[in-house]
Amino acid sequence: MAHCVDLGEQFHSSSYFAFAPYNKDKVYNWAMRGLERSDRLMLVAEDQPSQEIFGYFVANISTFYFSDALVSEEEQMFLHPEKRGGPTAVKFMKIWEKWAKENNASMLYFTAGAIDRGNKFDGFMKKLGYHPTGPAYRKCVGE
């Protein structure tokens, strides 16, 4: 789990949330609690034969705040920059879709709110059958 926390720090430092200090202990404890939850999906990508973890994916399943219908939301997906462009992200997405369906989710919701999505990412999501739902906006206090 510690290697995933280190990868998370790399993700954090390249995200819109880099302004906030990264707390490894807090992230580690959050991840360990997540392993015990049946409503959370946690995946890792491991290089063979080195067994080095180079990516992870986390999603949850819950009800909408306005309905008892279930929705599965992606919480984080990160791949080491050197490992992007291969099949891993698609594999993560397909496993997530299967898990959500098996758990009766009526919708999947992917929020790439921590990164600059760009045309390449939009093309990737559309190829997998996802539809954009609009932009996200952020403002740090004091800006």
pLDDT at 14: 82
pLDDT digits (tens, 9 = 90+) for 37-51: 999 999 999 998 888
Q: Give the C-alpha separation, 54 to 49, whole Å.
A: 13
**C-alpha distances in Å from residue 61, one per residue of 6, 38, 74, 101, 133:** 25, 9, 9, 10, 19
pLDDT at 94: 96
List b or e across 81-91, with b for residues whose CB sees 16 or more CB atoms inside 10 angstroms: eeeeeeebbee
Nearest to 27 by CA among 3, 62, 52, 61: 3
- If you average pLDDT over every residue of the chain, what do you get? 87
pLDDT digits (tens, 9 = 90+) for 71-114: 999 998 988 888 888 899 999 999 999 999 999 999 999 887 65
DSSP state of 42: E
Whether the predicted pLDDT of 120 surpasses 80: no
Averaged pLDDT, 53-81 = 93
Q: What is the pTM of this model?
A: 0.83
Annotate 53-106 with DSSP letters as a single string: EEEEEEEEEEE-TT-S-EEEEEEEEEE-GGGTTSSHHHHHHHHHHHHHHHTTEE
Q: Which domains does the chain have, with CATH numbers?
A: 2-127 (3.40.630.30)
